[in-house]
Homo-oligomer: A and B are copies of this chain.
Amino acid sequence: MIKVDRPFFLKANCSIRYSGRAESQLVQGDYLIIRKGDGTLMIHGATRLVALNYQPPGAIMKLKGNKLISHRKGETIEITVYHIEQYLEITTWSDNRISIKKTEDDLRNHIVEHIEHYLGQKISETIKEFQTPNGAVDILAVGLSQYHAIEVKRAKTTIQSCSQILRYLDYFKEIEQPTQGWIMSPQITQGAISYCQKKHLNWVEVKHESDVSNDSTDLKILEDHV
């Protein structure tokens, strides 16, 4: 008997029906089903990272005959179980989080620390996450004659980042505050470059601090050898 209120691992021959924001069906087959203590439900097929069907934390599961029914905020997953191959209750399960580096936040902090270097001019003040009605500017830098609205991307900048900053510039235009738009990222796509040129946005290549310090380590080794 499956206890649906505890975390479990289930390998079963089953078929799945989902209804909610969208609707989907999965033909009968052997799938892997995991349910976590917080209500999270995942049905995984043999390939791919993302689950075939899923429900985020908060779902309630019930067993009716050979059907497992999970429900959350108007969304329902119905698992019709034909054969159970493996059923395993998961007892001890840690709930730690990863500590992560090289995020956009890291890069933003690095840029703020070296803002005059990257903008190539005197800056009197920088504000992170400056709120506008059209969203928050990553970094707002106050120069002598104008503002600088800077959008930071941790990886490759695409054309939608250009749009993002244009929305912020719309606001500064409204309040008649001269502002230059900037994008700072390690990489940028060709389409974004073209669009930047048309819209008079500047792009500056920046590196993550850890990548920079790796370079300097190489340099030190080089120096030692010289």
Contact = CB atoms under 8 A, between A and B. Distances in A.
A98 B49 contact: no
A29 B159 CA distance: 41
B23 A133 contact: no
A131 interface: no
Interface size class of A (residues with CB under 8 A): 35 or more
A76 B219 contact: yes
Contacts of A181: none
Given A25-B98, A34-B32, A155-B21, A57 B46 contact: no
A198 B133 CA distance: 12
9 contacts: A21-B102, A22-B154, A24-B101, A34-B44, A45-B95, A47-B95, A85-B92, A134-B191, A163-B167
Interface of A: 7, 9, 11, 16, 18-19, 21-27, 29-32, 34, 36-38, 40, 42, 44-49, 52-57, 62, 64, 69, 71, 76, 78, 85-86, 88, 90, 92-103, 133-135, 154-155, 159-160, 163-164, 166-167, 170, 191, 194-195, 198, 210, 216, 219, 222-223, 225-226
